[in-house]
Amino acid sequence: MKHEYCYATDDLDVDRIVATFTPDGVLDVPIHEHIEGHDGLAAYFEWFAEREYQTRAHNVFNHVIDVDRDTATGEWYYMVLYTLPGRNAETGHGHDDVEFVRTDDGWKLSSTSARRRITREVSADAIE
């Protein structure tokens, strides 16, 4: 489910992103206030799509997932690379805490909380 969320977010496929969450799902991210429910999630990702990021690439690693029947918790580090106008890039590194629930439609995200630890903008000149 987490990889589906990452790929859908990188593609900015709002319907697909929202479908990864339960109807009352919660998303807490460093760049926006608390987001809740399918309508709130859709509004956030539509707002996000209007930002100047040209591409996104999520990477998640060092994951730990604990399953207890029909619920699970997970945590891992993430790194996201964004490209900006003018070819500059921005990287965000942090830690995700996630709660999952098994539904009739399979596993869904019920809560995701991202805590950014490092954010850096890198100029296109430095990349070359």
Residue 128: pLDDT over 60: no
Contact criterion met (CB below 8 Å) for 7 and 34: no
Edge-to-edge strand list for the sheet holding 71-83 = 35-36, 21-28, 106-122, 89-103, 71-83, 55-68
Average of per-residue pLDDT values in the chain: 91
Span 117-121, average pLDDT: 83
User: Is the Cα torsion angle 47, 53, 59, 60 positive or negative in sign?
Assistant: negative
Q: Rounded to whole angstroms, how far apart are CA atoms 58 and 48?
A: 15
Contact 25, 110 (CB under 8 A): yes
Cβ atoms of 101 and 70 closer than 8 Å: yes
Express each pLDDT in 76-104 by its tens digit: 999 998 887 777 888 889 999 999 999 99
35 vs 51, higher pLDDT? 35
Q: How large a percentage of the chain has pLDDT more than 90?
A: 67
The pLDDT value recorded for residue 127 is 60
By C-alpha distance, which of 17, 30, 10, 23 is closest to 117? 30
Place of tokens 């996104």: 56
Encode burial over 70-79: b for 16+ CB neighbours within 10 A, e otherwise.
Answer: eebebebebe
